[in-house]
Homo-oligomer: A and B are copies of this chain.
């Protein structure tokens, strides 16, 4: 039975080939690539050696099969991915602006993964669940929200913990209602992974230290603020650890944060110390940006441990 479980969108990503391409203009794209924040997360959690399950839905089409085969190959339990006849697998188009920002056009909530619901979430799947991971991006309709809420309940009921990445994107979080749902989950989470802006956006307070103290005071055990090229900071009730970024040539940052999260939770699940897990996660994130495609830079724990030894001149224990 799975130790790490997530619920949410499985997509393909179709990526602009050149910088500064616009959706209004014909251009070249590369894709499809397996994608979807929870899918990238769970793929990486499995590759790092934890028993991992995703609850999701795809269409009966080539885009869905591509994802299914990838997750299966990497060791994810795919038995709870519904294949829906008459629905189409979700798609995300992405273009890259000059300033490094990305623009998206999504078919998600209206695609096959829009049909994930509570009925897909079974108590027996959660019997051995240590971590239930929530991606904020997966709250794109009421069905998926209710499915996620049920997942949280089932996980907590049998002693598991909640990990959470709000994954706030301007195209998806358009209203205050959604923000409130994210805050609700934030306060139930034991492991919180997020960007600097997300933290202040959700908490309504600019000072990171204050926000972190509030969350630790309300029961969070580990908070990781991801800062991209500037590394990451791990906060626990007793410790603050800053990890510098591993120097790499960035090809494509899409999915790196999800890969970071999958590595971190998988390492914690396997008993590694948070200080070591955050470094391994940071290395995984760095590795991820060297490959074009959201899931293409995912990697194994063995390789991350090798990178760790090389970079830190010590074993990851």
Q: In A59-97, which residues have CB < 8 Å from any B CB? A: 59, 61-63, 65-66, 69, 86-89, 91
The A contact surface, by secondary structure, is: mixed
Chain A: residues with Cβ within 8 Å of the partner, total of 35
* Complex-state Cα separation, A141 to B84, whole angstroms: 17
* Complex-state Cα separation, A107 to B113, whole angstroms: 13
Copies per complex? Answer: 2
Instruction: Enumerate chain B residues within 8 angstroms of A41, measured Cβ to Cβ.
Output: none
Instruction: Enumerate chain B residues within 8 angstroms of A30, measured Cβ to Cβ.
Output: 26-29
* Complex-state Cα separation, A287 to B14, whole angstroms: 30
Instruction: Enumerate chain B residues within 8 angstroms of A23, measured Cβ to Cβ.
Output: 32, 61-63, 65-66
Q: Could you list which residues of chain A lie within 8 angstroms of chain B, going by C-beta atoms?
A: 14, 17, 22-33, 59, 61-63, 65-66, 69, 86-89, 91, 103, 105-107, 110-111, 114, 174, 293
- Sample of 16 A–B contacts (CB below 8 Å): A14-B14, A17-B28, A23-B62, A23-B63, A24-B65, A24-B66, A26-B33, A26-B293, A27-B31, A29-B31, A62-B103, A62-B105, A88-B106, A89-B105, A107-B110, A110-B110
